[in-house]
Structure 1
Amino acid sequence: MSNDHSHDHHHHHDHHKEGAEAPRWKHDGIRVIAGDRLDSNTAQTPGMFRQAAINHARVGAQKIWAGTVAIEPDAKTGVHHHGPLESVIYVVRGRARLRWGDRLEFVAEAGPGDFIYVPPYVPHQEINADPNQVLECVLVRSDNEAVVVNITDVDPVEAPENVYWVDPIHAAPEKS
């Protein structure tokens, strides 16, 4: 019986109804993006370093973006939300503080190994909570297009002074 079965299996292998299938999956299937092969050919800003791993240009991703970001000590964003986008931040090294709410009345911190989920439309501010250490994160967002809606009528509890948190979603403020 076991002999029979292996013969069947072998026979099934030999005869491909769709010969094009195997090569297609070989090149269009699972992709591993090595950590030392990320794409830093993206807008860079002094004091931080961002690299794309997964995006439309690199792997054809339709609905997701992922990459790494390093945020300098004490950096903060202004108050904003990301429209319909969902974001996930995974802290690799350092300490992140998130403030959110209509008046940024809520606060939470995250350290290495922690995940942060940012829902759509939630007004928030990201802060590197450590004045002495770079914050290293992995960022995943639910679209290839960055969406940032700046909120100007809410005063940040912690005002960004000189150092802005800038990453693949958050731009540096316009110089006025």
Structure 2
Amino acid sequence: MSHHHDHDHPHEHSGEPRWKHDGVRVIKGDQLDPNTAQTPGMFRQAAINAARVGAQKIWAGTVAIQPNAKTGVHHHGELESVIYVVRGQARMRWGDKLEYVAVAGPGDFIFVPPFVPHQEINASTDEPLECVLVRSDNEAVVVNITDVEPVEKPEEVYWVDPIHKHPNA
């Protein structure tokens, strides 16, 4: 009776073990991809997306926003968004009339559910805001809301990132 291992081990044709090159990926902080549309007032870099790692269901990256930057009022359709504040102070407004407000600082996570009208604001007038962004799809979805008068008008520098386009773009 043979005791040889006759069952197949999952190897790629190259002889490399399965998962070696398409398993867990570490994207170093100094290797983020700035080769994405840039906008005055901020600097954004992609870490996790379809092009870099083949991500199908999420996008992640970093964004640095200048003082006093704000977005227009919008929601992200069915997308869920997570914002992790690394440095600075973020103020979030949300609601049908942006009547609710919350502030997040370093170490805080912000969750934005689907279809919630909201506005992101750098709450500081002199410090940049640095965040990590994660969204639940690799496609950007933004629905701008024009019939709401924002409490804090986005008039200085717009907060624009891979999800939030400049209103005049």
CA distance in 2, matches of 1:39, 1:28: 19
After TM superposition, the score normalised by the length of structure 1 is: 0.89
The C-alpha deviation readout for 1:17-52, integer Å capped at 9, x for no partner, is 225166221111000000000000000011210000
Structure 2 residue aligned with 1:5: none
CA distance in 1, matches of 2:44, 2:160: 9
CA distance in 2, matches of 1:79, 1:18: 53
Amino acid at match of 2:55: A
Structure 1 residue aligned with 2:18: 24
Structure 2 residue aligned with 1:67: 61
Structure 2 residue aligned with 1:3: none
CA distance in 1, matches of 2:153, 2:163: 19
- Structure 2, gaps ≥5 residues long: none
Q: CA deviation at 1:15?
A: 7.0
The residue correspondences of 1:150-161 to structure 2 (distance < 5 A) are 150-161=144-155
Instruction: Look up the SS of the partner of 1:33 in the other structure.
Output: coil
The C-alpha deviation readout for 1:86-116, integer Å capped at 9, x for no partner, is 0000000000000000010100000000000
- Structure 1, gaps ≥5 residues long: 1-10
Amino acid at match of 1:18: H
Instruction: Look up the SS of the partner of 1:26 in the other structure.
Output: coil
Structure 2 residue aligned with 1:102: 96
Given that 2:41 and 2:69 are in contact with CA atoms closer than 8 Å, whether structure 1 keeps it comes out as: no
Instruction: Look up the SS of the partner of 2:91 in the other structure.
Output: strand
The C-alpha deviation readout for 1:45-102, integer Å capped at 9, x for no partner, is 1121000000000000010000000000000000000000000000000000000000
Instruction: Look up the SS of the partner of 2:17 in the other structure.
Output: helix
Structure 2 residue aligned with 1:137: 131
CA distance in 2, matches of 1:162, 1:16: 65
After TM superposition, the score normalised by the length of structure 2 is: 0.92
CA distance in 2, matches of 1:34, 1:15: 40
1:147 aligns with 2:138: no
Given that 2:10 and 2:18 are in contact with CA atoms closer than 8 Å, whether structure 1 keeps it comes out as: no
Amino acid at match of 2:31: R
Identity over the aligned pairs, expressed in percent?
A: 79
Structure 1 residue aligned with 2:105: 111
Amino acid at match of 1:35: G
Q: Which has the larger Rg?
A: 1
More helix per residue: 1
